Structure 1
Amino acid sequence: MEQFASLIAASINAGTPLLLAALGLLINERAGVLNLGAEGMMLVAAIAGFAVGYTTHSPLLGFLAGALSGVLMAALFSWLALVLATNQVATGLALSIFGAGLSAFIGQRFVGLALPSQTLAIPVLKDIPFIGQALFQQHWMSYLALLLCAAIGWFIYRTRAGLVLRAVGESPESAHALGYPVRWIRFAALLFGGACCGLAGAYLSLVYTPMWVEGLVSGRGWIALALTAFATWRPARVLLGALLFGGVTILQFYLQGMGVTVPSQILSMLPYVATIVVLALISRNPDWIRLNMPASLGKPFKPDAS
């Protein structure tokens, strides 16, 4: 039971950056914008967060730097996709490539450096058998991600602003005709998504693996993108999927520790194989995806044309 509790705790730790990034991308896509630049944003945020955290010895400043760098990357994407009306798919891919190169260049002097590990044990609750070890010895950012998930669910389905956001994602022409500033709403959604991806990247370099190496994100941005489709753009399902993919990610280390005679390369492939399998299963029912996906996802909007 102790080993199982440890597996749950590690799964939450591994799923936290996926949850943060996927929640931000969910808001983007609910507004009708497809941003494939999550990987690049997370990489830039990871090196920015680590550099500031290592230099100032303040993890909080590191998280703020990560969030700010994510916002700046999202602002760049917004200018290209919303103002210049570039293709969202091509722009997102370019942002990922740009972020990978920029993070590698900035991070040269930080390679091999490390930060002390950070954990938070909640008094009293941490002493509860099994549950305390599994749930109440996480970093504070993991709890913030859970609160953010609940807050986004409430915002989308219980507030007027959330209704407007969904309306923009479904029919920007109708929302514009009613007087809503579609571009500004999408711009705000993209900045929020960038901040979430920034926090996810900073979490990876400050908490999950408190060091910097080139390519630290290792495809988690792409997994977060797949996670939004897997969750059919619903926050509660994003949480479930993040924990699932986090468990698959951490399972490889437990299997290796148990002496399972499987090549390590195959075990490292497990999270990405799981992503492909899930997407393949979802794609078997295109009507289901079409009913849940925002109708204007990935389509540019020009007010002058309406």
Structure 2
Amino acid sequence: MLEIIFAWETITSAIRMATPLAYASLGGVFSERTGVVNIALEGIMLFGAFFAAVGTYFFKNPLIGVLFSIIAGSIIAFIHAVVSIKFRVNQIVSGTALNMLAVGGTTFLSRLIFKAAGSSPHIEGFIHIDIPIISKIPGIGLIFRDLSPLIILMIVLVFLSQYILYRTAFGLRIRAVGENPQSADTLGVNVYKYRYIGVLISGILGGIGGAFLSLEHARVFVENMTGGRGFIALAAMIFGNWNPIGSLGACLLFGLAEALRMRLEGVGIPTQFIQMIPYILTMLVLAGAVGKSTPPSADGVPYEKEEI
């Protein structure tokens, strides 16, 4: 069993499992850093997975599929933003409603468009690539072989986001809006604008995370295929202390749990216990993070501009 846990193949599988979580978790960072809780990430991922399959199926091009997923994720995020920011509806209620819409909506559209219950026809994903030189190293080189371009993009976006949030004026305004919107408004920062931007970024990234599931994990869309990954991504964001690199580390931990769940099947442990691993880890991580992770001060708090 130890050979399975510490095998390079397990680590490689963990990175693949972590990729959709990392996209959604990074989106959650941007949304919550501006003060908007985005429980709708689960629904955004599901719509992203579905429309990625639709775009790829009809246009025979996974890039078009990713574009469809970005548009779908952005639309759902925009709805959440309008309801939460403009109308100041409870953000948890708004996100939950959109998650329910995603489950029913994708099921209905899947059967309407693909004329089949349960899943779409097979679709083509991206051509995988090897990283030159490093991929030739025995052992560790396995991690850098047969990589989806979406995995490479995810790593780039995580470190780029870390730089933007903590080294640019744009990132400073995002964090200010989430920490103290009244003070930010006094200094001339448009609180509503930055909150809309944060939520829309979460829609774009969550949509790509969903696209990874249908284009790379399964090469097919399956009803409710996110399976709670949006919520796990939120847990990773909390465990990562609303920080891009921290969230990536937490996603890799969850990805490892998922990889172990897949690789430990058939080794004598009851299947039911193995399937519980990712979800038990999620609960343990959240329990351990309580009191230790510090959310933005205005996270989840609607903002209403004071009239002078």
Tell me the residue number matched to 1:282. 289
**Cα deviations across residues 193-241 of structure 1 (Å, max 9, x unaligned)?**
1000000001100111111111100100000111111111111111111
1:150 lines up with 2:159 in the alignment: yes
Residue 306 of structure 2 corresponds to residue 298 of structure 1:
no
1:35-114 matches, within 5 Å, as 35-108=38-111, 109=114, 111-114=119-122
Task: Compute the displacement of 1:305 (Å).
Answer: 5.7
- The equivalent of 1:247 in structure 2 is 256
Give CA deviations for 1:237-262 in whole Å, capped at 9, x if unaligned. Answer: 11111111011001111111xx3222
Range with greater deviation from structure 2 (104-113 or 16-25):
104-113
* Partner AA of 2:211 in structure 1: A
Q: Which amino acid aligns with 2:29?
A: L
1: distance between equivalents of 2:272 and 2:289?
26
Q: Deviations over 1:56-83 (max 9, x none)?
A: 1101111111011000100111111111
- Provide Cα deviations, 1:69-119, integer angstroms capped at 9, x if missing partner: 000100111111111111111111111111111111111226252224542
Q: Taking structure 2 as the reference length, what is the TM-score of the superposition?
A: 0.93
- Residue 161 of structure 1 deviates from its aligned partner by 1.0
- Which amino acid is 2:278 matched to? P
Q: Is the 8 A contact 1:52 1:65 kept in 2?
A: yes
**C-alpha contact 1:126 1:137 (8 A) present in aligned 2:** no
Pair 1:202-2:211 in alignment: yes
Aligned-partner SS, 2:37:
coil
Q: State whether residues 60 and 124 of structure 2, in contact with CA within 8 Å, keep that contact through their aligned partners in structure 1.
A: no
Which of 250, 265, 271 aligns to 2:278? It is: 271
Q: Which has the higher helix share?
A: 1
In structure 2, runs of 5+ residues without a counterpart are: none
- Do 2:130 and 2:144's aligned partners in 1 also have CA atoms closer than 8 Å? no
Q: Does 1:174 align with 2:183?
A: yes
> CA shift at 1:132, angstroms?
1.8
Equivalent residue for 2:236, pick from 223, 227, 239: 227
**Alignment-mate amino acid for residue 61 of structure 1:** I
Deviates more, 1:236-245 or 1:104-113: 104-113
Question: Quick one: which amino acid aligns to residue 179 of structure 1?
Answer: G
| TM-score (ref. length: structure 1) | 0.94
Out of 137, 140, 149, the position equivalent to 2:149 is 140
The 1:216/1:305 distance shift into structure 2, 3 A limit, reads farther
Q: Displacement of 1:265 after TM fit?
A: 2.4
Contact 1:43/1:217 (<8 A) preserved: yes
The 1-side partners of 2:84 and 2:51 are apart by 24
Residue 115 (structure 1) aligned with residue 118 (structure 2): no
Structure 1 residues 225-234 or 124-133, which shifts more?
124-133
Q: Post-superposition shift, 1:146?
A: 0.5
State the shift of 1:120 in Å.
2.1
RMSD: 1.6
Return the offset for 1:282.
1.6
Aligned residues: 299
Structure-2 change in CA distance of 1:305 and 1:294 (3 Å): farther
Residue pair 2:61, 2:124 contacting (<8 A) in 1 also: no
| % identical equivalent positions | 33
